[in-house]
Each structure stands twice: as structure tokens, then as C-alpha cells.
Amino acid sequence: MTIKLMYYDEALSELRTHIDISQETLKSAMLTIDYSEKKDGVYYPKKRMFSIFYFCKSELIIHTIKDKNTILTGPYTKLLKLSNIIERDVYS
């Protein structure tokens, strides 16, 4: 039960926003939390971990746009940091 909750709640969290986030703002925010874009819309941690989890989907942040909504999927703690950074940049 604990493993399921940890994996499902922590790793597969989703952040949806109605604000238009520019690519520059998103890339800057990703660099701030030590992520970089390796594929179009897929961000990997910049620090390579010496484990099998580096390439695991639970460590990725995936960016998609659907019906003028920005959707980010990834680890909860990273999405929370990302949300705070983007909010600060968009509303300042």
C-alpha cells in the first residue's frame, strides 16, 4: 500500500494551469529545478543518478498543451517548485 501511494501520488502528479506559459519561462523554470529538455516536451533531471531511476518515467516531467491548458506531469515536489517559480515569473 505504501509503495503504491508513494509511486502514484508522488511520481505521477499532474499540474494543470490555464495561464499561457511561454517556452522561455518554462525552460528557465526547469533549469532552476535542475531539469533540462532532452526530447520535445520531456524534461529529465540534469543530475544523473547512479541508479535505474534516472530513466524511469517517475523522474521525468512531461509538458503538454491541450485545449489552451498547460499540463505538466511528474514528481509532486518538483511540480510544486515549478509551480511556485512560474507563478512568481508570470505575475511579477
pLDDT in tens, 42-91: 998 887 655 555 556 778 899 998 888 888 988 888 998 998 998 887 77
pLDDT tens-digit map of 67-79? 888 889 888 889 9
* Rama region for 68: left / alpha / beta (φ>0; ψ in -120 to 50; rest): left
36 alpha carbon, distance to own chain's centre: 10
Is the pLDDT at 18 greater than 80, yes or no?
no
Q: What is the pTM of this model?
A: 0.77
| Cα gap 67→28, rounded to integer Å | 24
